[in-house]
Amino acid sequence: MAKQKKLPLQRFMEKTKEDDKGCWIWTGAKDGSGYGKFKGHEKVMTPHKFSYEEHKQSKVPIGKIIKHTCDQPLCVNPAHLELGTYSENAKERWARTGSKLPPEEVIARAIIKALPEVKNEQIKTALASLGLSPKSLPD
């Protein structure tokens, strides 16, 4: 008899473990930056995005990201995930954690990491439109 194929959400939940803070920690595959990756419905995505979309029954709109209110990148608990922007995420994390980097530096570094083909001048222009001015980007 053929083995019954598991549904994506079932496979997903088998790769999580709850910690003492209520985070559902992703224990599955991770990428080079330490974030998880998961093949849900025929598409590889971050597990926190999969969790948000599955549990909230809502797609992440273009221009938005999933923020972790718990500041735990491997958390996939939908109660700890909310929609936002890179700018909001960096500012909120900076305010909560007292990061030594100001939000505009965090945003600039996130853009550089996510989009290595984007030129520093383009990043500066985009950040300036948000009222931010990173100091660490060379011209």
- DSSP string computed for 44-110: EE-HHHHHHHHHHT-PPPTT-EEEETT--TTB--GGGEEEE-HHHHHHHHHHHH--SS-HHHHHHHH
pLDDT band at 46 (very low <50, low <70, confident <90, very high): very high
Provide the number of structural domains found in the chain: 2
Same domain assignment for residues 71 and 121: no
Same domain assignment for residues 70 and 120: no
- DSSP 3-state of 1: coil
φ, ψ at 16 (rounded to 5°)? -125, 155
pTM for this model (two decimals): 0.68
Distance CA 35, CA 72 (A): 10
| pLDDT score recorded for residue 94 | 73
Query: Which residues span the domain enclosing 136?
Result: 86-139
| Residue 60: half-sphere exposure toward Cβ, Cα within 13 Å | 21
Same domain assignment for residues 108 and 75: no
Distance CA 26, CA 29 (A): 8
Q: In the listed set 84, 109, 124, which residue is the last one of a domain according to the structure?
A: 84
Q: In the listed set 69, 84, 99, which residue is the last one of a domain according to the structure?
A: 84
In a domain, 2, yes or no: no
Cross-strand bridge partners of residue 67: 82
Same domain assignment for residues 68 and 98: no
Read off the amino acid at residue 110.
Answer: A
Same domain assignment for residues 106 and 135: yes
Distance CA 34, CA 26 (A): 11
| Structural contact between residues 77 and 98, judged by C-beta atoms closer than 8 angstroms | no
In a domain, 38, yes or no: yes
Angle value at C-alpha 81, between 19 and 112, nearest 5 degrees: 105
Same domain assignment for residues 69 and 80: yes
Same domain assignment for residues 21 and 78: yes
| pLDDT score recorded for residue 17 | 97
φ, ψ at 125 (rounded to 5°)? -60, -45
Q: In the listed set 84, 101, 121, which residue is the last one of a domain according to the structure?
A: 84
- pLDDT, tens digit, 9 for 90 and up, residues 86-117: 888 877 877 777 766 666 676 677 776 666 66
In a domain, 6, yes or no: no
Same domain assignment for residues 71 and 91: no
